[in-house]
Amino acid sequence: MASIHVREVPDETLTTLKVRAARAGQSLQAYVRQLLIGEADTLTPEEFAEEARSIASRGSVTEDDILAAINDTRETRAA
């Protein structure tokens, strides 16, 4: 597993992270690792849009299919 070092973290930021880590019952290292993993696992808007385009390009659903499904759902709810 790789290591990183972060320099020039403002004192207030470090204090906040230490307090949050303590409240979570974690070491500062474990807490920051969890934050970094969560950040890396979260898609950026650009990544999300690319994933959506990729999924859409593999499908054969048309706009008419979508509108028909919406209308069917509305009719079912109204009944």
- Which range, 10-14, 60-64, 73-77, is most confident? 10-14
What is the structure's pLDDT at 59?
85
Q: Give the mean pLDDT of 13-28.
A: 98
CA-based radius of gyration for the chain: 23
Q: Find out whether 61 and 54 touch, Cβ atoms under 8 Å.
A: no
Segment 21-72, tens digit of pLDDT: 999 999 999 999 999 999 999 999 999 999 988 988 888 888 898 899 999 9
Cβ burial 39-70 (10 Å sphere, 16+ → b, else e): eeeeeeeeeeeeeeeeeeeeeeeeeeeeeeee
pLDDT of residue 77: 86
Task: Classify burial at 20, counting beta carbons within 10 Å of its beta carbon; exposed 0-12, middle 13-18, buried 19 or more.
Answer: middle
- What are the residue ranges spanned by the domains of the chain? 11-78
pLDDT above 90 (res 13): yes
Name 58's Cβ contacts closer than 8 Å, sequence gap at least 6.
none
